[in-house]
A and B are shown apart, each in its own frame.
Chain A
Amino acid sequence: MNETIAKEHLSEEQIDQDLLKNVNWGGKFKLWMGFLTVSLIICLYYYYQQLQNGLGVTGLHDYVSWGIYISNFVFFVATSLIGMLVSSVLGMMKVDWVRPVSRIAELVAVAFAMVAGLIIITDMGRPDRLLNVFIHGRVQSPIVWDIAVVVTYVAISALLLYIPMLPDIALCRDKLNNVPKWQQKMYQRLSLGWNNTAKQFRLMNRYTRMLLILIIPIALSIHTVTSWLFAMTLRSGWDSPIFGPYFVSGAFVAGCAAVIIAMYFFRSNYKLKDYITSDHFDRMGKLLVLVALVYVYFNINEIIVPGYKANTADAKHVHEMLYGHDSVMFWLVQLGGLVIPFLLILFRPMRKPLPLTIIAVIILAGAWFKRVLIVVPTQLAPYYPIQNVPEAWSGYSPTTPEIAITIASFILVLMIITVLAKLFPVVPIWEVKEEMNHNNNK
């Protein structure tokens, strides 16, 4: 007997009611959004300061010219990759248990991918010249590839969120009569006149399938290209042919953790214990074990291969990581943020919702700092010594505006997820029903 699919006792009306109940603008929501908005405005003030005074307000300098903005960008791209893994790979393999959480995964993907694009703009010295990328774009530059794939990925993820949601939007249109007028109109528009005909389902499934196939290469390239921003340079520490798969595997770890956190949040706040069960957490935990194992494997490769050969520059880089300047952060991230959590979730009790969520938070934090470790130390170990510049340039510490702008990106993600989760049901209602009927008929 499988807990995940134990929904026989629920009636269709009950399901509709349970899952639609979150689509409202309650006081709690308003309070939360108010809090987010105020925080965002505070952070945007710092961005205004950066626009006025230049990137000099950050802790960046000539030797660490990419700092936490770029690390954060890599982290966001990484996290957004999970949408592909959960909805596409597992969905196409007919892994049924992911169906209730696939929309959460897509929400996370869309939100993180959208904001990733904005982070790149905050890192630009001349954001006013953004259009130059389209006017004078150069096909040889990985940045141009990156922009192309990020934009494409956002579009595909949005479509992949939207198209399978059509029946649920129609349900909202039909059942939610007490929402504001604009919202009803929106459902009306977005539902495309859905009325559950077989042909509509056939078309929807066809398009979804196309998207699911399309998203795999795009999702892989979005993160591979992001890794190429580093791997295409001649810097030791970045100049590594395994960076593509290394980043992709790391992305799944971060993404799984983010989805687990989102699942827990929705489950407890939206009272969805019957739909997002502890069995879902158990399985997500196992998925996390799998992807973390692959990631640990890549991490070992990444350190052991250059460390063994110890050519001059690489040896310095590896030494800094293992024993030197960056060692505290390195070991905290590798052991505390990856290996120990990985070992813990091998045990079943640790895969219960609350413990797993706590571990996921630690893993996600570790994943963020891991990106800093990828981006920053390499730049601090250039081939030629750092001389004739201010003392501070031989290190890097982010400033308040920099941290605030980074926090702003997280606030934006939360806002996007919150709004979307308030406009649409976070668990695909029609899929839950279909699965239930399918089980009952068995």
Chain B
Amino acid sequence: MKNNKRYKLIILFCLCFLAVANVNAQSDWQVPAKDNENLSPFLFDDDMILEGRVAYENSCTSCHGTPGQDDFTPMSPPPGDPAAEQFQAQSDGSLFYKIKMGRASMPKFEDAFADDELWNIVAYIRSFNENYKQQLPNMEGVEIPVYAMKLSFDQNVDKLVVKVLAEELPQAEVSVSAYVMGTFGKHLLGKAQTNELGIAYVDVDPALPGDAEGKVNVLVKATKEFARAKVQQDLAIAMPTEIHSAIEGRHIWSTDRMAPIWLKITFFVSVFGVWFALLFIVFGLRNIKRAREES
């Protein structure tokens, strides 16, 4: 009996240890103090949660599972369920930092998502916490400029030229990131800072294929402190490319309608030829019958 109790104790101890170790794995991850205190400049509203959900389902579900279901993939260290307490105990800034920077088997999403999209994901994760109360940055006395952007392309140096203005005045030291919109995600062309003329240059690979006119859909984001702006438009910055259908021409593998002509002719000429001869013989059998009547 006593022995039994002892075993139970040992098991309990082990379990406790494991749990602590698990938490440790999470808390192991040192987030710089400044990032830890980082706050979302956006209010986590339903729109953000919805967008965060789409992003989460595309990029996070495969490891973290559906929040609240505890169905994350068993890995080492365990990815954990974002709805779980140890997840929710972290600050917004910490979650944001971890998603953005990644570590070991947690991918780095810095290039995949812009900051506002990362906050969408944080908003979605927070939506599973009933007790969560969003802490917002102190905005009092902060003047937030409204940016306008003008995009152009300098063919001579293959550079995308981004001019950032606020009330007609050029804005310096604005971080600009430019993306090409692909079918399934956006490809980072590059990041740059505006100069004192409010202009940032982003390199464009001249080999990048565009449509027949060389146009691609470009997304440019500009951020500086709380000020943010984005613009998305078709720009002729890429190589004009003629797009071919994958099934052009006549091949053995084409559909019957697009079969090679030589094959169609050969097939039908031989089949109909032989059957013509056969029908000739079958009809000719009447001659045998007639040959009797003549005699």
Contact = CB atoms under 8 A, between A and B. Distances in A.
Chain A–chain B contact at Cβ < 8 A: yes
Interface of A: 136-140, 145, 148, 152, 155-156, 159, 163, 166, 192-195, 197, 199-200, 203-204, 207, 210-211, 214, 218
Interface of B: 252-256, 259-260, 263-264, 267-268, 271, 274-275, 277-278, 281-282, 284-285, 287-289, 291-295
A168 to B, nearest CB: 14
Contacts of B253: 140
A211 B292 contact: no
A163 B287 CA distance: 13
6 contacts: A138-B259, A148-B267, A148-B271, A156-B274, A192-B289, A203-B288
Contacts of A207: 281, 284-285
B104 to A, nearest CB: 28
B271 A194 contact: no
B288 to A, nearest CB: 5
A135 to B, nearest CB: 11
Given A192-B289, A211-B281, A197 B295 contact: yes
B256 A166 contact: no
Contacts of A138: 255-256, 259
A143 to B, nearest CB: 13
B254 A159 contact: no
B240 to A, nearest CB: 35
Contact of B267 (A139, A166, A199): A139
A159 B291 contact: no
Contacts of B291: 197, 199-200, 203
Given A140-B253, A211-B281, 9 more contacts: A148-B271, A152-B275, A156-B278, A159-B281, A192-B289, A193-B292, A193-B293, A203-B287, A214-B278
B274 A218 contact: yes
B258 to A, nearest CB: 10
B261 to A, nearest CB: 10
Given A193-B289, A195-B292, A207-B284, A140 B252 contact: yes
Contacts of A193: 288-289, 292-293
B289 A152 contact: no
A303 B1 CA distance: 74
A203 to B, nearest CB: 5
Contact of A152 (B256, B263, B271, B292): B271
Contacts of B274: 152, 156, 214, 218
Contacts of B287: 203
B279 to A, nearest CB: 10
Contacts of A152: 271, 274-275, 278
A210 B281 contact: yes
List 5 A-B pairs, minimum CB-CB distance, nearest first: A199-B291, A138-B256, A193-B292, A200-B291, A197-B295
A376 B235 CA distance: 58
Nearest to B253: A140
A34 B100 CA distance: 82
Contacts of A218: 274
B252 to A, nearest CB: 5
B127 to A, nearest CB: 38
Contact of B259 (A139, A204, A211, A214): A139
A96 to B, nearest CB: 25
A195 B278 CA distance: 24
Contacts of B252: 140
Given A152-B271, A193-B289, A137 B256 contact: yes
A340 B255 CA distance: 48
Contacts of A136: 256
Nearest to B273: A214
A194 B288 contact: yes
A156 B279 CA distance: 10
Contacts of A199: 291, 294-295
A166 B288 contact: yes
Contact of B295 (A145, A163, A195, A211): A195
A50 B129 CA distance: 56
A166 B286 CA distance: 13
Which interface residue of A137, A145, A199 has the most chain B CB atoms within 10 A? A199
Contact of B277 (A145, A195, A210): A210
B263 A194 contact: no
Contacts of A137: 256
Contacts of A140: 252-254, 256, 259-260, 263
Nearest to B284: A207
Nearest to A159: B281
A159 B284 CA distance: 12
Contacts of A159: 278, 281-282
A155 B278 contact: yes
Nearest to A197: B295
Contacts of A192: 285, 288-289, 292
Contacts of B282: 159
